[in-house]
């Protein structure tokens, strides 16, 4: 049973990349549909709607980031992979914020992005404001990322 | 660093000079013409809608013809052509274009009609091809397909289901009572059997019923001439159409030299269209016209001089009144000017507000740099923007400012990258270890955020506090300028006092010492003073936060609510953690890319794999992180910083000017 530590730690890392990644993929896809619709009417708006489409994509990157830091901390990328069960579970828990909030916020952000794409389609000069609405949602992904990262670094220093 | 002061201008001149004066004003581009809704017996507005409709038609024709020309004879150009800017032209050319205009317009219409011909053939040819396919099974049949028989004999020409046999069909027809029939199978394919059935007129009904039952249908197309002949005719038409389209296309391509003229015509009509828009806003009498508008005060002198020198005019400048809706034009130095567009995309300063551009620009560049945070990425950004700025001197101002903004952001990124020791992530370590077997590393000048995230987080919060306090200071400045000294105490000083004293108290707490790793022991008097200040300022806020209410009970309630804003400050400060998160994101993804690249080991193959992954991966990373840095820098300015003092709402100054696409007037050229 003591060998299970690494399993839980890896599960956490994988979940982080997985759920945030799936959320971002769905979000970018959703926004992409709306963006493509705008470009059929006016190809000149491609640059602007592309930026808006990409906004829900960052959660996937945060997931990757957490996964990578976890992988290097638990020694899967070279080094010894000896960690206790308790520590493995701690890593698992540390990855949950970005996994769950990442997924949810990517979808929420995608909906805001779709609405903003609609805004830009009608009033291209309001691009600056249109960009802010999806960015507001991202705050929560960033806060979750912060908690995940700080926890992971903190766990490394704990001795159990 | 300021909103330019505006002046109201009134200009009265003779109508015979109207064209020249307006064209001069348009070229100068410093006056925003203002709608003055005064109609009286002498001065009236002129309706120019019909003239504008004609001009609009010219604009559409030029635009369409350019599009057509670009479709068949694409303009040779580099991918950087967007940076090259408009070509310079002279007033003489503009004036002399009037003679050329009709022939160029004819050409534009000719191009449109040629394009129509091509489109027509394109839709016609597939239709004919469908006919050809339908006639193909009948090509050896010698009668026209609509042949219905002679006086005594009836003929049925058509298709039956596949697999129909001659003998079987004859028998079935005989059985149905149609005797003396002759069946000819013209062709048979897996889809259908083409037949001709001949019988006596008297038996025609019986035969037709029998055939119907068997699934008989007339041919899809039944031309009055034999199929072979029809096929030939169609073939001829298709060839003629193809040739016509070909010729039309060739003619379009022959006209490619006219492109510059068409472009000029588009600009010519655009300018005139705008001019007529202005004319409709003028108040005109029989012999004179009156123009009112706004212009930046610093332009007034030069404009008056120029007008006086050329025309008999009466010009009056006056400072606009308080209640007037004066347009806003910002003016900043070269360092701050590039971020004007950021302020503008939020909102221009409203009445009584200061231009935040200059103060914001410093924070903008610093924060962008902290988020992108890689020296090599910054150097690339700086290099590319710098090269483009140097190479394309004629660039349009808007583009130039965008590039300049990224140039400054790039420089700041280099600075932070060096501070944090990030050069393409950890590429130096990885390359030296994988390919040279040694371990080289460039140490950070300050500290690496990945190793000390808590320290970095604290630093981000400090930057955030500075940013927010600067916002409050801007509010102080604005209130001081408006002379509202009481409001300064209530809305700014109390908040400064409260937040600073709370921070001082927080520094002495044990939890803070645990988080930051640095324990600060506050001497007793300091913490006592801080507590006292906090209480006083909190009470001050409660008492004054709702001062617009006369009712004391309501006032205190509102005051309590405004004290609740302290949570707003907390969330604002926390929001700056994105500086850490995005900074880490750049570094960690770069590290992942480098690690992936080095996975196939050293040697030649390893080096090739490394280079490919390195180029692809870092390009992607720069793109994604630049987007992130841009969006979140904007957010920090718009939400956290502007939230403290700025509401905007100003109207942009839109001068009557040469808003063309391809040509501009040479700047050294004075009015003609």
- What is B569-618 written as a DSSP string? HHHHHHHTHHHHHHHHHHHHHHHHHHHHHGGG-SHHHHHHHHHHHHHHHH
Spell out a b/e string for A19-49, using b for 16 or more CB atoms within 10 Å of the CB, else e. bbbbbbeebbebbbebbeebbeeeeebeebb
Are the C-beta atoms of B418 and B357 separated by less than 8 Å?
A: no
Q: How far apart are CA B119 and CA B108, in angstroms?
A: 17
pLDDT of residue B181: 72
Are the C-beta atoms of B653 and B328 separated by less than 8 Å?
A: yes
Q: How far apart are CA B183 and CA B213, in angstroms?
A: 16
Question: To probe the interface with A, which of B590, B631, B637 has the most A CB atoms within 10 Å?
Answer: B631
Length, in residues, of chain B: 672
Indicate the CATH number for domain B1-39+286-329. 3.30.70.240
Note the Cα B587 to chain centre separation in Å: 30
With a cut of 90, say whether residue B40 has pLDDT above it. no
With a cut of 60, say whether residue B671 has pLDDT above it. no
| Per-domain boundaries in chain A | 4-157
* B98-156 pLDDT, tens digit each: 888 889 999 999 999 999 999 999 999 999 999 888 888 888 888 888 888 888 888 88
**Could you give phi then psi for residue A112, rounded to 5 degrees?**
-65, -40
Q: How far apart are CA B433 and CA B585, in angstroms?
A: 23
When pLDDT is cut at 50, 70 and 90, the band that residue A116 belongs to is very high
Q: Distance (Å) from the C-alpha of residue B593 to the closest C-alpha of chain A?
A: 11
Residue B33 exposure: Cα atoms within 13 Å on the Cβ side: 21
B594: chain A residues, CB-CB within 8 Å: none
When pLDDT is cut at 50, 70 and 90, the band that residue B434 belongs to is confident
**In whole angstroms, how far apart are CA B668 and each of A142, B27, B91, B94, B356?**
52, 12, 11, 16, 33
- What is B310-345 written as a DSSP string? HS-EEEEEEPPPTTS---B-EE--TTTGGGHHHHHH
With a cut of 90, say whether residue B518 has pLDDT above it. no
Closest chain A residue to the Cα of B457, Cα to Cα: A146
Q: Which residues pair with B32 in a beta bridge?
A: B294
With a cut of 70, say whether residue A101 has pLDDT above it. yes
Q: How far apart are CA A138 and CA B578, in angstroms?
A: 10
* B340-362 pLDDT, tens digit each: 999 998 889 988 889 999 999 99
Report which secondary-structure segment, H or E, holds B76: none
Q: When comparing pLDDT for B421 and B210, which is higher?
A: B421
| SS3 state of residue B562 | helix
When pLDDT is cut at 50, 70 and 90, the band that residue A81 belongs to is low
**Nearest-CB residue to A65 (from B577, B584, B638):** B584
The neighbour count for residue B629, using CB atoms within 10 Å, is 26
pLDDT of residue B207: 83
When pLDDT is cut at 50, 70 and 90, the band that residue B519 belongs to is low
Q: What is the mean pLDDT of residues B639-668?
A: 86
| SS3 state of residue B40 | coil
Are the C-beta atoms of B566 and B498 separated by less than 8 Å?
A: yes
Q: What is the mean pLDDT of residues B609-632?
A: 94
Q: What is the mean pLDDT of residues B366-387?
A: 96
pLDDT of residue B670: 44
pLDDT of residue B669: 44
The neighbour count for residue B57, using CB atoms within 10 Å, is 12
With a cut of 90, say whether residue A78 has pLDDT above it. no
Are the C-beta atoms of B424 and B551 separated by less than 8 Å?
A: no
Q: What percent of chain B has pLDDT over 90?
A: 43
What is the residue-averaged pLDDT of chain B? Answer: 88
Q: How far apart are CA A114 and CA B33, in angstroms?
A: 38
When pLDDT is cut at 50, 70 and 90, the band that residue B35 belongs to is confident
* B436-495 pLDDT, tens digit each: 888 888 899 999 988 888 889 999 999 999 999 999 999 999 999 988 898 899 889 999
| SS3 state of residue B426 | strand
pLDDT of residue B336: 94
**Nearest-CB residue to B624 (from A61, A149, A153):** A61
**In whole angstroms, how far apart are CA B491 and each of B4, B350, B409, B475, B545?**
28, 20, 33, 9, 8
Residue B376 exposure: Cα atoms within 13 Å on the Cβ side: 18
pLDDT of residue B152: 83
The arrangement of secondary structure in B146-218, i.e. its CATH architecture, is 2-Layer Sandwich (3.30)
Are the C-beta atoms of B284 and B38 separated by less than 8 Å?
A: no
Q: What percent of chain B has pLDDT over 70?
A: 97
pLDDT of residue B37: 65
Burial of A159 by CB count in 10 Å (0-12 exposed, 13-18 middle, 19+ buried)? exposed
B639: chain A residues, CB-CB within 8 Å: 132, 136
pLDDT of residue A114: 96
Closest chain B residue to the Cα of A57, Cα to Cα: B624
Contacts of B48 by beta carbon, 8 Å cutoff, 6+ apart: B276, B277, B279, B280
When pLDDT is cut at 50, 70 and 90, the band that residue B515 belongs to is low
Question: To probe the interface with B, which of A69, A116, A128 has the most B CB atoms within 10 Å?
Answer: A128
Bridge-based pairing of strands B87-89 and B663-665 is parallel
Highest mean pLDDT among A26-35, B144-153, B217-226: A26-35
- Longest alpha-carbon distance in chain B: 130
Q: How far apart are CA B250 and CA B111, in angstroms?
A: 11
Are the C-beta atoms of B415 and B580 separated by less than 8 Å?
A: no
* B292-343 pLDDT, tens digit each: 899 999 989 899 998 999 888 999 998 988 888 899 999 999 999 999 999 9
Q: Which two tokens stand for residue B585?
A: 């994101």
pLDDT of residue B2: 81
**B346:A153 CB<8 A:** no
When pLDDT is cut at 50, 70 and 90, the band that residue B667 belongs to is low
Superfamily of domain covering A4-157: lithium bound rotor ring of v- atpase (1.20.120.610)
The neighbour count for residue B504, using CB atoms within 10 Å, is 18
**A55:B588 CB<8 A:** no
Cα–Cα nearest to B55, from B214, B370, B302, B265: B265
Highest mean pLDDT among A102-111, A136-145, B519-528: A102-111
pLDDT of residue B510: 74
**Could you give phi then psi for residue A94, rounded to 5 degrees?**
-65, -30
Are the C-beta atoms of A83 and A74 separated by less than 8 Å?
A: yes
Terminal C-alpha separation, chain B: 34
With a cut of 70, say whether residue B532 has pLDDT above it. yes
**B346:A128 CB<8 A:** yes
pLDDT of residue B658: 87
Question: To probe the interface with B, which of A149, A154, A157, A158 has the most B CB atoms within 10 Å?
Answer: A149
Identify the sign of the CA torsion B200, B204, B209, B213.
positive
With a cut of 60, say whether residue B382 has pLDDT above it. yes
Q: How far apart are CA B463 and CA B443, in angstroms?
A: 23
Per DSSP, A52 falls in state H
């Amino acid at each position: 049973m003591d060998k299970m530590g690494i399993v839980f730690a890896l599960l956490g890392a994988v979940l982080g990349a997985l759920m945030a990644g799936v959320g971002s993929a769905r979000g970018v896809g959703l926004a992409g549909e709306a963006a493509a619709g705008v470009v059929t009417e006016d190809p000149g708006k491609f640059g602007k709607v592309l930026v808006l489409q990409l906004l829900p994509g960052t959660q996937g990157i945060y997931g990757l980031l957490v996964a990578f830091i976890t992988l290097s901390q638990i020694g899967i990328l070279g080094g010894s992979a000896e960690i206790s069960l308790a520590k493995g579970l701690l890593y698992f828990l540390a990855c949950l914020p970005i996994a769950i909030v990442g997924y949810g916020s990517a979808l929420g952000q995608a909906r805001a992005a779709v609405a903003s794409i609609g805004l830009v389609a009608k009033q291209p000069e309001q691009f600056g404001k249109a960009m802010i609405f999806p960015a507001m949602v991202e705050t929560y992904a960033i806060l979750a990322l912060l908690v995940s990262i700080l926890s992971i670094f903190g766990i490394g220093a704990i001795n159990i | 660093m300021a909103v330019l002061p505006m002046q109201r201008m009134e200009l009265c001149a003779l109508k015979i000079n109207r064209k020249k004066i307006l064209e001069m004003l348009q070229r100068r581009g410093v006056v925003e013409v203002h709608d003055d809704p005064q109609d009286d017996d002498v001065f009236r507005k002129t309706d120019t809608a019909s003239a504008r409709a004609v001009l609009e038609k010219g604009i559409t024709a030029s635009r369409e013809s350019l599009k057509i020309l670009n479709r068949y004879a694409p303009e040779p150009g580099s991918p950087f052509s967007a940076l090259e800017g408009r070509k310079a032209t002279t007033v003489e050319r503009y004036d002399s274009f009037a003679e050329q205009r009709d022939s160029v317009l004819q050409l534009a219409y000719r191009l449109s009609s040629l394009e129509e011909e091509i489109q027509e053939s394109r839709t016609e040819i597939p239709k004919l091809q469908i006919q050809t396919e339908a006639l193909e099974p009948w090509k050896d049949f010698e009668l026209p397909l609509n042949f219905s028989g002679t006086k005594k004999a009836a003929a049925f020409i058509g298709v039956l289901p596949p697999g129909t046999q001659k003998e079987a069909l004859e028998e079935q027809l005989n059985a149905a009572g149609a005797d003396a029939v002759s069946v000819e199978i013209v062709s048979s394919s897996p889809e259908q059997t083409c037949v001709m059935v001949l019988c006596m007129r008297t038996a025609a009904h019986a035969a037709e019923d029998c055939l119907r039952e068997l699934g008989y249908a007339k041919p899809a197309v039944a031309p009055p001439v034999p199929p072979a002949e029809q096929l030939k005719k169609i073939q001829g038409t298709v060839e003629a159409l193809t040739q016509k389209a070909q010729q039309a296309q060739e003619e379009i391509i022959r006209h490619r030299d006219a492109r510059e003229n068409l472009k000029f015509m588009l600009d010519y009509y655009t300018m005139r269209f705008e001019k007529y828009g202005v004319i409709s806003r003028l108040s005109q009498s029989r012999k004179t016209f009156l123009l009112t508008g706004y212009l930046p005060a610093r332009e007034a002198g030069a404009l008056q001089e120029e007008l006086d020198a050329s025309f008999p005019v009466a010009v009056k400048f006056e400072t606009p009144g308080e209640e007037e809706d004066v347009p806003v034009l910002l003016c900043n130095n070269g360092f701050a000017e590039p971020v004007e567009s950021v302020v503008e995309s939020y909102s221009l300063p409203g009445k009584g507000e200061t231009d935040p551009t200059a103060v914001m620009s410093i924070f903008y560049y610093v924060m962008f740099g902290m988020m992108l945070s890689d020296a090599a990425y910054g150097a690339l950004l700086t290099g590319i923007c710098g090269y483009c700025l140097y190479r394309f001197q004629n660039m349009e101002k808007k583009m130039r400012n965008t590039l300049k903004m990224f140039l400054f952001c790039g420089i700041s990124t280099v600075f932070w990258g060096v501070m944090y020791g990030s050069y393409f992530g950890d590429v130096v370590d990885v390359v030296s270890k994988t390919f040279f077997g040694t371990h080289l590393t460039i140490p950070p000048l300050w500290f690496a955020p990945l190793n000390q995230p808590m320290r970095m987080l604290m630093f981000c919060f400090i930057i955030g506090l500075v940013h927010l306090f600067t916002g409050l200071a801007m509010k102080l400045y604005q209130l001081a300028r408006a002379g509202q000294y009481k409001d300064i105490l209530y809305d700014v000083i109390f908040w400064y006092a409260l937040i600073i004293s709370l921070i001082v108290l927080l520094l002495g707490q044990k939890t803070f010492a645990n988080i930051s790793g640095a324990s600060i022991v506050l001497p007793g008097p300091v913490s006592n003073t801080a507590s006292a200040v906090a209480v006083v300022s909190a009470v001050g806020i409660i008492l004054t936060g709702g001062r617009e209410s006369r009712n004391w009970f309501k006032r205190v309630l509102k005051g309590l609510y405004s004290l609740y804003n302290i949570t707003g400050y907390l969330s604002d400060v926390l929001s700056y953690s994105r500086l850490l998160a995005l900074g880490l994101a750049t570094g960690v993804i770069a590290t992942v890319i480098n690690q992936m690249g080095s996975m196939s080991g050293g040697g030649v193959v390893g080096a090739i794999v490394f280079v490919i992954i390195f180029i692809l991966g870092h390009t992607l990373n720069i793109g994604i992180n630049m987007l992130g840095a841009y969006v979140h820098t904007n957010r920090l300015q718009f939400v956290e910083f502007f939230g403290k003092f700025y509401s905007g709402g100003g109207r942009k100054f839109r001068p009557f000017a040469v808003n063309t696409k391809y040509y501009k007037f040479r700047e050294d050229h004075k009015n003609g």
